Chains A and B, each alone.
Chain A
Amino acid sequence: AQTVTQSQPEMSVQEAETVTLSCTYDTSESNYYLFWYKQPPSRQMILVIRQEAYKQQNATENRFSVNFQKAAKSFSLKISDSQLGDTAMYFCAFIADTGRRALTFGSGTRLQVQP
């Protein structure tokens, strides 16, 4: 069974600064995918970024980038130039390429961007 751990329940950052959210996971699978989802106060789940485990290059999407360390089973999210609209819960998620095709989520990190 897979597990996903987010050890930072809450974080705060000043507008325009950079913040990094941590995520570690445990799996015996060799091929899998990792995701970061954002949940603003509206409760909508929004995909921020995805990473394929077989790719060494870290994924980037505009101000969002990841630091994927496969050997360490670590998958952190870096948000650059933080904006007030980034205030949300952020969830790290995992899905294996075989077996059960369902996302396993971490417990989430609540990010507050301060003006």
Chain B
Amino acid sequence: DAGITQSPRHKVTETGTPVTLRCHQTENHRYMYWYRQDPGHGLRLIHYSYGVKDTDKGEVSDGYSVSRSKTEDFLLTLESATSSQTSVYFCAISAGGGNTEAFFGQGTRLTVV
């Protein structure tokens, strides 16, 4: 299995509080991604990174920020959590190139109450 770990695996937080999800990889892959999964929508891209300090927005980036200060870590922050951000969040990694398989973490279930 690819070395990719998400933490925490489950979290319940209150509306308006900041939340940070962590993705850690041991594969030294260049690309890292954050997706959210909601019923009827599949997986939608929030942000991705193509190198240290190089990030870009996805389709559903509003309300989220990311940082990548080291190759192995990609952080997703919800500055002020809202109920609409209740979801399952997946981190993925890829060595790059379209044909390269993307490996996914186990997912984080976030509930905002």
Q: Could you say which of A103, A105, A106 has the most chain B C-beta atoms within 10 Å of its C-beta?
A: A103
A76 on the B face (CB < 8 A): no
Question: A108 with B42: in contact, given A43-B107, A44-B106, A47-B101 (CB under 8 Å)?
Answer: yes
A12-40 interface (Cβ within 8 A of B): 31-33
By the criterion of a CB under 8 Å from any partner CB, how many residues of chain A are at the interface? 25
* Inter-chain contact A44/B98, CB cutoff 8 Å: no
A111 on the B face (CB < 8 A): no
Taking CB atoms, residues of chain B closer than 8 Å to A96 are 98
Q: Which residues of A contact B (CB under 8 A)?
A: 4, 6, 9, 31-33, 43-45, 47, 50, 52, 91, 95-97, 100-108
Q: List 24 A-B contacts (CB under 8 A).
A: A4-B42, A6-B42, A31-B98, A45-B90, A45-B104, A47-B102, A52-B99, A91-B42, A91-B43, A95-B98, A96-B98, A97-B97, A100-B48, A101-B94, A101-B96, A102-B31, A102-B33, A102-B45, A102-B48, A103-B102, A105-B44, A107-B40, A107-B41, A108-B42
